[in-house]
């Protein structure tokens, strides 16, 4: 019996160490609601989908089968999963951790899962110049990683910085499987315009602390992007500006005021009211979309308003609490 068990274990280890592709699904209990996570594992690592949040194709940092265990990491979201594999991957029972908070998660095979197909898929080879790069916001001690695209690296072209909206965003402003900044950069490069898009500080490949950063800090990063873009030999420095989406539409005019190298700004759905009004409206609409009743909606808005007023009354204390979280 021991010999048979040993043979089965050896076969199991061999199968999994070879990078066997798997689709595994499990649900987290989040505030009494089930949130399904779907891991599409490949020899290269794989991706995670969260259908309820319309989030698809987020690249995992790593996914490794080792003996009878599975280890998954997603550094960009500060996620880890460690689980024990039962049978021939009949289930994986483990612990899901995100930003220091842990909860149990059991994964099961989901071989019939169909990934979402996107129509705007842009992949190399590109008919234009594209290169990954890094630049520094020296005053903040932050290194920002991004991508420059241009019609070519020989001429002189107008150039824009793409500035993301609120929340941690990568250079493509990827959300729910869409990559709007990649699509915009592709179109602009094909039409004679240079772009620089970059990962937010403290996210993806950029350094820094995202959670502690303010809108003014992000404006400083965008200003550093302007300075960097103006050093490139194929950029016409008399025609350099910003395209800012959502919060980026608020950041763009701040940068135009602080950096005289900015020649134009283009806000995309930038804010037209103050931040408090935006948060209250967004909170209401999101809760309403999730089916909350009128009484709970009223309570939510009142609590949210109280929290915002408390932060505005003592921003220094609020900042300390964020730093210590």
Q: What is the DSSP letter of 195?
A: E
| Domain made up of 129-268: CATH architecture | 3-Layer(aba) Sandwich (3.40)
Question: Does 76 have pLDDT greater than 70?
Answer: yes
Question: Does 3 have pLDDT greater than 80?
Answer: no
Question: Does 33 have pLDDT greater than 70?
Answer: yes
**For position 121, what pLDDT does the model report?**
83
Question: Does 4 have pLDDT greater than 90?
Answer: no
Give the pTM.
0.71
Query: From the centroid of its chain, how far is CA 324?
Result: 23
143 CB burial (10 A radius; 0-12, 13-18, 19+):
middle
Length of the chain, in residues = 325
Where helices occur in 121-214 by DSSP H, the ranges are 180-190
Going from N- to C-terminal start, the domains of the chain cover 2-109, 129-268, 275-324
Contacts of residues 59-66 at CB distance under 8 Å and 24 or more positions apart, as own/partner, are 63/39, 65/16, 65/17, 65/19, 65/20, 66/16, 66/17
**For position 222, what pLDDT does the model report?**
98
Question: Mean pLDDT over residues 260-264, rounded?
Answer: 97
- Sequence-ordered list of residues with C-beta below 8 angstroms from that of 63, at least 6 positions apart, any chain: 39, 41, 42, 45, 46, 70, 71, 72, 73
Question: Does 2 have pLDDT greater than 50?
Answer: no
Question: Does 5 have pLDDT greater than 80?
Answer: no
**For position 72, what pLDDT does the model report?**
94
**For position 56, what pLDDT does the model report?**
84
The fold of 2-109 is Porin (2.40.160)
**For position 8, what pLDDT does the model report?**
38
Q: What does the block give as tokens for 95?
A: 């612990």
- What are the beta bridge partners of residue 83? 70, 94
Higher pLDDT, 19 or 102: 102
């Amino acid at each position: 019996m021991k010999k048979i068990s040993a043979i089965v274990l050896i076969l199991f280890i061999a199968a999994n160490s070879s990078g066997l592709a798997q689709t595994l699904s499990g649900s987290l209990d989040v505030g009494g609601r089930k949130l399904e996570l779907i891991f599409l594992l490949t020899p290269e690592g794989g991706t995670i989908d969260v259908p309820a949040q319309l989030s698809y194709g987020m690249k995992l940092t790593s996914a490794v089968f080792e003996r009878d265990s599975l280890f998954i990491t997603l550094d960009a979201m500060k996620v880890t999963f460690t689980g024990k594999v039962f049978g021939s991957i009949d289930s994986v029972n483990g612990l899901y951790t995100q930003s220091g908070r842990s909860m149990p998660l059991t994964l099961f095979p989901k071989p019939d899962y169909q990934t979402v197909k996107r129509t705007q898929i842009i992949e190399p080879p590109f008919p234009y110049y594209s290169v990954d790069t890094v630049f520094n916001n020296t005053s903040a001690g932050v290194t920002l990683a991004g991508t420059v695209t241009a019609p070519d690296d020989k001429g002189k072209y107008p150039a824009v910085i793409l500035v993301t909206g609120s929340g941690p965003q990568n250079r493509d402003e990827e959300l729910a499987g869409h990559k709007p900044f990649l699509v915009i950069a592709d179109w602009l490069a094909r039409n004679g315009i240079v772009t620089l898009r970059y990962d937010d500080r403290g996210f993806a490949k950029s350094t820094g602390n995202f959670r502690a950063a303010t809108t003014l800090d992000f404006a400083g990063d965008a200003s550093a992007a302007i300075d960097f873009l103006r050093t490139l030999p194929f950029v016409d420095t008399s025609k350099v500006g910003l395209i800012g989406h959502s919060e980026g539409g608020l950041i763009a005019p701040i940068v135009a005021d602080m950096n005289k190298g900015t020649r134009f700004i283009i806000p995309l759905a930038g804010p037209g009211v103050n931040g408090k009004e935006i948060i209250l409206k967004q909170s209401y609409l999101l809760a309403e979309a999730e089916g909350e009743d009128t009484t709970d909606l009223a309570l939510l808005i009142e609590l949210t308003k109280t929290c915002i007023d408390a932060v505005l009354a003592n921003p220094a204390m609020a900042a300390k609490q964020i730093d210590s979280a």
